[in-house]
Structure 1
């Protein structure tokens, strides 16, 4: 393939304009965007993901190069592996397990990272290798270490980086443990959703350094980018969230599937029935609405599932992850929602209280929340790190 095939395309130039106008691509990262095309790191067979439909379809560079390059130059996520590598063929697999993130997300996180030439950077989650190449162009290839848990993914990324001419170090290992051999780092960036930030990352970052990671709780699949500064004494890292995203989860922190029948057992006499004046639109909002994030922070050890809407009715289920508590709220257009709950925790009561707390605090957005990580665990806060609670 020619270098110009990767670099000199109107669609790629247009994507750069879109990213800059949206504020995702800052002027200091624009030369890096121009120098390091995403297409150089994508496989010949890939599965662009339709965010609205929630589906993927195969695109082959050999069969349809125009479509392939079109997606490479689009602000869409691209699945590059299914089912931890067990998948074969062109049809999508069951679970997407490696991908190339949306360019807008990539450059917003790189902006949050505030990496400078000469900074030493650890990346957790190599994926295609594109992010490592961007970092290497910015800070110097000898300063970038990227860790990938999947051996086949690591090898493909290593080959792509070598072909591109970037000598960033690719390590096959568990990024949850960091990579102490290369520490201390000025910056750590994580490209997989995490539910717990290990203190090893704090220990391997120099005081004053930054950790940027998509973080969330098991309440849902959404993440929010945490930008944490390591304290002078190295004993904590703390900072605000910068905005919502959604990443594939770190393999060590994936949530096992919740089995509905393990929770909802027995007859009507085993559950409490009530109603709520809270509406579907208020409680759920949009996909990345701040109230969903706020509720998730106040609902420890709980997972929620939003079912499809049928005939004007939508059930939302809540499942306890440390007990068999469960709740269901049935939102119905034009009518008061019905609630059923059972178990030692009244999960809907807690969820409704969490929503009311968010409302009473002035409906804060993601950026007013923050996270602090210490040896003892992690805690969330609103506006003031001194007023935190465990998560």
Structure 2
């Protein structure tokens, strides 16, 4: 796990608490070979079910907030069991100590809470789940396994002050804004671990924040990329292209750029995408499929109907069109140049600070930060 290494302090818990004990009979594991979620039934094919349950793959356990029916994948995955390697990595970031009191946001199957309860004792773990059905199923699974952590059915954005103060808080869904309520419910020096990102991209990075001695802020670096389903209240609704582009794209302002496709897009978890989101606020980008040597990338403003389209072409300069109050490509190009001028920092050089007034990002130095 986590690159092949499982630290000795977590070995007993991972050995004693198998993920399979918290997975439902019907599930949709992600098949790495095909790149899609597949339906698996423990009754119909127990060998295949156990194979996926014991593999280092994410497993969707609910689609479309429970409205989904049938065996085909739904539209939006809304509850899951994360890859074991990611679970370990985040628990390692949490750095729990004997006697720590932990709040988990996003119970899901209950497996993560069970690992914490095994390590710290059930009475030291509180886990919050918004979905009442998911919460009930996790509570049952935890009780059956003999690790009855306290499962609370409520909005995790509000935390659970009745059980605080906490030494550690961990979130198992992606956030676009870290609630200050979590800081308020933590002890000075407490650690908060949460997947965080911007609407620019669906990917996240794990933020590891430490609560200040005065309790007025929490700050810390990102430890690396991940991708989680988003907290329901912070999901981004799908962009409707026709609401932005109402006429012929070619009629809009046209220019070109020397930035290449590889430089601007990179791989799925390339740090430049994360950096772009930190600088290009209130914007989402969509990378289209490549055809005949051309790949369009669209930028959509989230506070108005500004848009931009850059078409990368093999062996030629990319062409750009943009429209609206914001010149989104100009902003994007400026953000990319900023990232390169900073020495193309990776995730670990970026950090996040959360206060009662909002959140801000930084590179290398928390004192030199900007709102995000």
Same fold (TM over 0.5): yes
Matched, 1:315 2:296: yes
Change (3 A) 1:20 1:234: closer
Alpha-carbon distance between aligned partners in 1 of 2:29 and 2:133, rounded to the nearest angstrom: 20
Alpha-carbon distance between aligned partners in 2 of 1:53 and 1:213, rounded to the nearest angstrom: 29
Matched, 1:22 2:4: yes
Deviation at 1:270, TM superposition (A): 5.7
Residue 163 of structure 1: which of 127, 144, 148 is its match? 144
Q: Which residue of 1 aligns with 2:341?
A: 360
Aligned partner of residue 328 in structure 1, secondary structure: strand
Deviation at 1:153, TM superposition (A): 0.4
Q: Deviations over 1:190-224 (max 9, x none)?
A: 00000000100000011100100000001110000
- What TM-score, normalized to structure 2? 0.98
Alpha-carbon distance between aligned partners in 1 of 2:249 and 2:334, rounded to the nearest angstrom: 25
**Preserved CA contact (<8 Å) 1:117 1:140:** no
Matched, 1:90 2:76: no
Alpha-carbon distance between aligned partners in 2 of 1:199 and 1:96, rounded to the nearest angstrom: 27
Residue 256 of structure 1: which of 237, 242, 250 is its match? 237
Q: Which residue of 2 aligns with 1:33?
A: 14
147-156 or 256-265: bigger deviation: 256-265
Alpha-carbon distance between aligned partners in 1 of 2:7 and 2:177, rounded to the nearest angstrom: 29
**Preserved CA contact (<8 Å) 1:314 1:330:** yes
258-267 or 104-113: bigger deviation: 258-267
User: Matched residue pairs, number?
Assistant: 372
**Preserved CA contact (<8 Å) 2:250 2:321:** no
Change (3 A) 1:52 1:337: farther
Structure 2, unaligned runs of 5 or more: none
Q: Deviations over 1:20-48 (max 9, x none)?
A: 6533x212111111011000000001100
Alpha-carbon distance between aligned partners in 1 of 2:265 and 2:24, rounded to the nearest angstrom: 37
Q: Which residue of 2 aligns with 1:16?
A: none
Deviation at 1:260, TM superposition (A): 0.6
Aligned partner of residue 84 in structure 1, secondary structure: helix
Aligned partner of residue 123 in structure 1, secondary structure: strand
Alpha-carbon distance between aligned partners in 1 of 2:54 and 2:249, rounded to the nearest angstrom: 54
Matches within 5 A, 1:34-113: 34-51=15-32, 53-113=34-94
Alpha-carbon distance between aligned partners in 1 of 2:338 and 2:356, rounded to the nearest angstrom: 29
Structure 1, unaligned runs of 5 or more: 1-18
Deviation at 1:271, TM superposition (A): 2.0
Deviation at 1:390, TM superposition (A): 0.3
**Preserved CA contact (<8 Å) 1:123 1:147:** yes
Aligned partner of residue 308 in structure 1, secondary structure: coil
Q: Deviations over 1:216-256 (max 9, x none)?
A: 00111000000000000000000000000000000010001
**Preserved CA contact (<8 Å) 1:369 1:382:** yes
Deviation at 1:332, TM superposition (A): 1.2
Matched, 1:297 2:275: no
**Preserved CA contact (<8 Å) 1:122 1:188:** yes
Residue 331 of structure 1: which of 312, 323, 329 is its match? 312
Alpha-carbon distance between aligned partners in 1 of 2:293 and 2:4, rounded to the nearest angstrom: 36
Aligned partner of residue 217 in structure 1, secondary structure: coil
Aligned partner of residue 133 in structure 1, secondary structure: helix
Alpha-carbon distance between aligned partners in 1 of 2:27 and 2:240, rounded to the nearest angstrom: 31
Q: Which residue of 1 aligns with 2:99?
A: 118
Q: Deviations over 1:97-132 (max 9, x none)?
A: 110000010000000000112100000000000000
Q: Which residue of 1 aligns with 2:365?
A: 384
Q: Which residue of 2 aligns with 1:341?
A: 322
Alpha-carbon distance between aligned partners in 1 of 2:163 and 2:64, rounded to the nearest angstrom: 31
Q: Which residue of 1 aligns with 2:210?
A: 229
Q: Which residue of 2 aligns with 1:247?
A: 228
Residue 129 of structure 1: which of 94, 110, 115 is its match? 110
Deviation at 1:289, TM superposition (A): 0.4
Change (3 A) 1:53 1:352: farther
Alpha-carbon distance between aligned partners in 1 of 2:340 and 2:59, rounded to the nearest angstrom: 36
Aligned partner of residue 71 in structure 2, secondary structure: coil
**Preserved CA contact (<8 Å) 1:127 1:154:** yes
